[in-house]
Amino acid sequence: MRINLTSVYVDDQAKALRFYTEVLGFVKKTDVPTGEHRWLTVVSPDAPDGVELLLEPDAHPAAKAFKEALAGDGIPLTQFAVDDVAAEHERLRGLGVLFTQEPVDMGPVATAVFDDTCGNLIQIAQYK
Amino acid sequence: MVVRVGDLYQALADHTRRLILDELTERDGQTLFEICGRLATRHQVTSSRQAISQHLDVLEAAGLVITRRQGRYKFHHLDTRPLRAVAERWLGAEPRQETP
């Protein structure tokens, strides 16, 4: 068994695709119409055959309540790895990304948290 | 300015709450998530998120922490004004010259 796919619940798939590709730098892997929504995944350009991230609609009312509660306390939905948190923070801030946590040294890991504009907070982490 | 002195001293009596103030001094304006992360990784404080949230409530009641909503997020800010009132109570507003 292996992890093949993970999800973020987004409020708008087209907007999410723009943010996750044009701002974060992921690339689109799968885009299949599924009625009202799309089966829409992105991957890291460093690992095109690696874990796919599903940009899943947050249409279910419970998903919205869940996202609101997490965001209120600043809790990220998921984490992406980067080589250099400070550099990535600088790059993303230059692109207008809002951070709820500036880079902080947390011992074995440095982290920062930003708003993905689709209702989620995302943590970036640099493992030393 | 009205200072709730009793609340203030009780708020400062707790070690974890003093650590929270230390971390807010280092960087003002933190989410609950960031405060919990700093306490766990830098100070080995293993309290639950709910317990930290209650500590923040005590600090807020004492006037040492102010919360601010920005968009969907809640940030915690340090307010040192009550501490200044403590210093002035015993030290006076102006430092006195030592006379040998």
pLDDT digits (tens, 9 = 90+) for A55-95: 999 999 999 999 999 999 999 999 999 999 999 999 999 99
Burial of B62 (0-12, 13-18, 19+ CB in 10 A): buried
- Kindly indicate the confidence band of residue B94, based on its pLDDT and cuts at 50, 70 and 90: low
pLDDT at B7: 85
Residue-averaged pLDDT of chain A: 97
Exposed e or buried b per residue across B6-44, where buried means at least 16 C-beta atoms within 10 angstroms of its C-beta: ebbeebbeeeebebbbebbeeeebbbbbbbbbbbbbbee
For residue A17, is pLDDT > 60? yes
**Partners of residue A81 on adjacent β-strands:** A125
How many Å apart are CA B64 and CA B66, to the nearest integer?
Answer: 7
B41 CB near a chain A CB, below 8 Å?
yes
**Average pLDDT, integer, range B78-85:** 92
**Average pLDDT, integer, range A7-29:** 98
Cβ–Cβ gap B31/A111 under 8 Å: no
């009793």: which residue's tokens?
B6
Cα angle A117, A122, A127 (rounded to 5 degrees) comes to: 150
User: What is the torsion angle, in degrees rounded to the nearest 10, for the CA atoms of residue A93, residue A96, residue A101 and residue A107?
Assistant: -30
């409020």: which residue's tokens?
A11
Cβ–Cβ gap B33/A101 under 8 Å: yes
| Structural domains of chain A, ranges and CATH numbers in brackets | 5-127 (3.10.180.10)
pLDDT at B86: 84
Most A CBs within 10 Å, among B27, B30, B31, to test the A interface: B31
**Average pLDDT, integer, range A105-126:** 96
**Average pLDDT, integer, range A100-115:** 95
pTM, two decimal places = 0.89
Strands B65-70 and B73-78: antiparallel
pLDDT tens digits, one per residue of B7-57:
899 999 999 999 999 999 999 999 999 999 999 999 999 899 999 999 999
Query: Looking at the partner chain, which of A73, A98, A107 has a beta carbon nearest the beta carbon of B32?
Result: A73
Token pair, residue B20, equals 């929270």
Nearest residue of chain B to residue A72 (CA atoms): B73
pLDDT at B87: 85
Q: Which residue has the higher pLDDT, B85 or B25?
A: B25
A74 CB near a chain B CB, below 8 Å?
yes
Whether B45 and B4 have beta carbons less than 8 Å apart is answered as no
Q: How far is A69 from chain B, CA to nearest CA, in Å? A: 9
Whether B53 and B32 have beta carbons less than 8 Å apart is answered as yes
ipTM confidence score: 0.89
